[in-house]
Chain A
Amino acid sequence: MINFNRFTLANGLKVLVHEDKTTPMAVLNILYDVGARDEEEGRTGFAHLFEHLMFGGSINIPSYDEPLQRVGGENNAFTSNDITNYYITLPAANIETAFWLESDRMLSLAFSEKSLETQRNVVCEEFKQRYLNQPYGDVWLKLRPLAYQTHPYRWATIGQDLAQIENAKMEDVKAFFKKHYNPQNAILVVGGNVDTYEVKALAEKWFEPISAGEKYVRNLPKEPEQTVVRSLTVNADVPLNAIYMAFKMPARLDANYQVFDLLSDILSQGQSSRLFNSLLKEQQLFSEINAYITSSLDEGLFIVDGKLVEGVAIEQAEAAIWAELNKIASELVSENELTKVKNKSESIMVFSEMSLLDKAMNLAFYELLGDADLLNVEINKYLSITADQIRSVAQETFKKEKSSTLYYLANA
């Protein structure tokens, strides 16, 4: 149970406070409701590049990192296809510094040319390090456009290619800031050794003077229903053949979301899971095998991927995956197996409460979903899932015509 208080400033900024007096630290987490899905084709990778620019100085404060480090704080951020999330941890006594820094960059950035030029380079190096200069690094650059044809999920957060990042202009940066970085599009969570009244006063002092800005109304193209099987073969200088299968699954807020999550756990969580035991241990077709969901806010993907044991034909490996998927789509899972994954989910949730930062991030994310209270009842949704639901969701999902399969083959 994660307790919190909640209020909204006059400019529309939502603020949540989680008091935890067991720690001398505080966290300030701010989630902006913008991700790679809000980019335009041809200018992809921008939300993430922008995240880097948020550290290049703001209108009144030339350096973001330095003053924070000076008071014993640390910060970082991440961008996904759905959101951009920034966080600070620091000694609770110095919490005002976090308000000062974070509010100034919401007010306005410095928009320095030097920072833009440097961060273009840094992000290009990040692109190379994570996606291009690694074996299998570009899988998601190939798999996304196979699985999605219309929705902006067809590109990865890093962007479609290096050129689009190299071409980013200052005017694009300014327009992006104006459109997405304002109080109405943000959720602020302050946690740790703080008092709600004190946080409220600080929020009113530092954030409330910022003008509300325009509310961004998201209107993304909807992905048409997939009706035919899709496949793609890539050859690369990698040592092993690999297979990636993507199935469409509903958006995060769908009533069945948690059923999909448990379904992926039954198939692939840990060494007692089905795919691990059947495909890796018993049949020895794969040296690695995974199933997981993308947890996207819009229509997401259920992924099965694996690296093949040398000498195994990819068709044979694929057929074996299908046999497991068909099995779970036709036969009910046992009570024991279902209880096992439920207990595991429950325990993962309890463990996540060990970290102040995780608690703050979760509160922000569930508030974005509609209500931070959902976080505290989430586990009940998992515990009430039945074997019938698992089977019927599997039946609906694991169909050839809803699948996109990528063969990632080693050059001969």
Chain B
Amino acid sequence: MLNRTIAPAFRQVNEINFIKPTANNLANGIPVYTINAGETELVRVEFIFANVNWDLSKPLQAVAVNSLINNGTLNLTAKEIAEKVDYYGAFLQTDYSADHTTITLYSLTKHLSSVLPIVWSILNESIFPQQELDIYKQNQKQKLQVSLQKNDYLARKHFAHAIFGNTAYGSDINLADYDHLLQQDLLAHYKAAFQPKNCTIVVAGKFLEQDFKILDTVFGSSWQNQASFTKNEFVFTAHKSREIYIEKPEALQSAIRMGNLSINRSHQDFPSLQILNCVFGGYFGSRLMNNIREDKGYTYGIGSGIASLKHAGYFFLATEVGADVCEKALIEIEKEINLLRTDLIADEELDLVKNYMLGSLLGSLENAFSHADKFKNIYFAGLDYNYYDNYIATVKNITAEQLKVIANQYLDWNAMTRVVVGKK
């Protein structure tokens, strides 16, 4: 008779294999990192540009250039660009993040020679038509109006501004900022921000030598540096924590976001802090979830994390809770933070978190794309694969005592800026 009360035997994950990229250069010097893996005949090519020329008086300039870069070139209209990309079953994405602007092409490998020239034209010949800019401004302002009615959006916006001030990480965007976007500014920023000298190409998928040749033919010679720029550099100092309360009398739920400046991936304590964060609010079984969702039922979800940016790191916690239980939820959050500072994490809980994190790392290496993502994490933080060896060793070996020290060093309710949007 089967005894269902006894758990089957299991093993901790022991071996985690990273596929490391091969490094090449295009003729004009652009580094190309390739993860050639996978059975399927498809490929992802990312053109990653370090952000440059941050200008507080034009906070939307870089974002707008990124959004409009595929909206018209010397020879192609916005619609023609989209039609060509779609015709080959490809996907073209433009993403703007705190440190990088990325143009991503997903394509069947066999169509690379047809679609890469479209990307070339976007990176070299975009003209930012006035009409497209006008439509963009109008529609983005409308989208922002909708976002401004969302409590979680407001909490994010005010939190980032409180932590990072008027930098690319925290600038407080308002409707009027869209009115100040000018075509000539976008063109000037475009010329500076998309050049071989601030570009890194990361390729993942089925990508053989002949495909590299195609890439080099399209981008290696007919794309040259032409303008100077200043790379974005920011220095942050921790300042006094703030409480920000934005009252919404009609709110059914309050959005809570809190946290503080912290360390980023390049700091030696980062893996330890990630483990502590996992215990606290980093997975479904975390203390925050167990207490505030699974025990009290105050929320649909609560979580915490550490974001690693190029020039800073920050710790944050976010949730949306019933407006009537907002104060109670805040008290519980404070309690959970203090517990990590005063009490040792029990062995059973720590073992579980260690196993969970190793399984989660293994599972996050699903395909060529995810191996490339792991490479980007370290590459853009100035690290190498030793980072992952150290991470795995830290997860396996860290003790409850060490985590208590980390908690006292990095987790402090009183140091956190706390934003509540809704009702208290």
Chain A residues in the interface with B (C-beta under 8 A): 22-25, 59-61, 65-67, 69-75, 89-91, 93-94, 96-97, 99-100, 103-104, 107, 117-126, 128-130, 132-136, 205-206, 209, 237-240, 269-272, 277, 280-281, 284, 287-288, 307, 309-310, 336, 339-341, 343-344, 346-348, 350-351, 353-356
Indicate whether B184 reaches chain A with its CB closer than 8 angstroms: no
The interface-forming segment of B85-93, B186-194, B228-236, B265-273 is: B85-93
A209 to B2, CA, bound (A): 9
Residues of chain B having any CB pair with chain A under 8 Å: 2, 4-5, 7-13, 15, 17, 38-42, 70, 78-79, 81-83, 85-91, 106-108, 135, 138-139, 142-143, 145-146, 148-151, 250-253, 283-285, 293-300, 320-322, 351-353, 355-356, 358-360, 362-363, 366-367, 369
Complex contacts, A240 vs chain B, CB 8 Å: 142, 145-146
The answer, among A129, A238, A350, for a CB contact under 8 Å with B253, is A129
- CB pair A72–B151 under 8 Å, yes or no, is no
Which B-chain residue is minimally distant from A339 (CB atoms)?
B87
The reply to whether A91 and B285 form a contact with Cβ atoms under 8 Å apart is no
Tell me whether A72 and B7 are in contact (CB under 8 A): no
Please determine whether B4 and A72 come into contact, CB atoms closer than 8 angstroms.
no
* Nearest CB in chain A to that of B16: its residue: A24
Contact of A72 among B85, B91, B355 (CB under 8 A): B355
When chains A and B are docked, how far (Å) is the Cα of A264 from the Cα of B82? 17
| Bound Cα distance from A243 to B367, whole angstroms | 40
In the complex, what residues of B have CB within 8 A of residue A66's CB? 285, 352
Are B366 and A271 neighbours in the complex by a CB distance under 8 Å?
no
Residues of B within 8 A of A70 (CB): 10, 351-352, 355-356
A89 to B370 alpha-carbon distance, docked (Å):
16
Q: Which residues from chain A contact B11 at a C-beta distance below 8 Å?
A: 91, 93-94
Task: Sample 25 A-B pairs with CB under 8 A, ordered by A number.
Answer: A24-B17, A24-B362, A61-B4, A70-B355, A72-B356, A72-B363, A73-B356, A74-B359, A91-B362, A96-B9, A97-B7, A99-B8, A107-B4, A122-B300, A128-B252, A129-B300, A206-B2, A238-B149, A239-B142, A269-B86, A288-B143, A340-B83, A347-B108, A354-B40, A356-B366
The answer to whether A117 touches B355 (Cβ under 8 A) is no
| Cβ B13 vs Cβ A284 within 8 A | no
Q: Which residue of chain B lies nearest to A346 when distances are taken between CB atoms in the complex?
A: B89
Q: Which residues of A contact B299 (CB under 8 A)?
A: 122, 125
Task: Please report the C-alpha to C-alpha distance between residue A129 and residue B83 in the assembled complex, in whole angstroms.
Answer: 37
Option from A94, A340, A348, A355 in Cβ contact (under 8 Å) with B366: A355
How far apart sit A269 and B89, CA to CA, in the bound complex (Å)? 12
Main secondary structure of the interface of A (DSSP, over half): helix
Bound CA span A351–B135, Å: 32
Is there an interface contact between A97 and B10, defined as CB atoms closer than 8 Å?
yes
Most buried by B among A69, A341, A348, A356: A69
Using A25-B366, A60-B5, A66-B285 as known contacts, list a sample of 13 further A-B pairs with CB atoms less than 8 Å apart, ordered by residue number in A.
A24-B17, A61-B7, A69-B352, A71-B359, A72-B12, A72-B360, A90-B363, A122-B294, A237-B250, A238-B149, A307-B146, A310-B142, A354-B366
Contacts of A59 in B (CB 8 A): 4
For B42, what are the chain A residues with a Cβ–Cβ distance below 8 Å? Answer: 347, 350-351, 354
A74-B320 contact in complex given A271-B82, A351-B42, C-beta closer than 8 Å: no
Query: A126, A133, A206, A269 — which one has the most chain B CB atoms within 10 A of its CB?
Result: A133
A236 CA / B355 CA spacing, docked (Å): 48
Q: By the criterion CB–CB under 8 Å, are B82 and A122 in contact?
A: no
> Chain B contacts of A343 at CB under 8 A?
86-89
Contact with B86, one of A123, A340, A356 (Cβ below 8 angstroms): A340
Q: Please, which residue of chain B has its CB at the minimum distance from the CB of A355? A: B366
CB proximity of B270 to chain A, nearest CB, Å: 21
Q: Is the CB of B320 within 8 A of A129?
A: yes
Q: Which of A89, A103, A239, A356 contacts B149 (CB 8 A)?
A: A239
What distance in Å separates the Cβ of A79 from its nearest Cβ neighbour in chain B?
Answer: 14
Given known pairs A128-B253, A310-B142, A343-B89, the reply for A351 and B106 (CB within 8 Å) is yes
Q: Using Cβ atoms and an 8 Å threshold, which residues of chain B touch A96? A: 8-10
Known: A25-B363, A66-B285, A90-B359. A72 touches B86 (CB 8 A): no
Are B253 and A133 in contact (CB-based, < 8 A)?
yes
Q: Taking each of A67, A117, A277, A351, which has the highest tally of chain B beta carbons within 10 Å of its own beta carbon? A: A351
| Most-contacted residue by chain A among B10, B13, B90, B299 (CB, 10 A) | B10
Contact B146 A238 (CB under 8 A): yes
For B11, B107, B358, the residue with the greatest tally of chain A CB atoms inside 10 Å of its CB is: B11
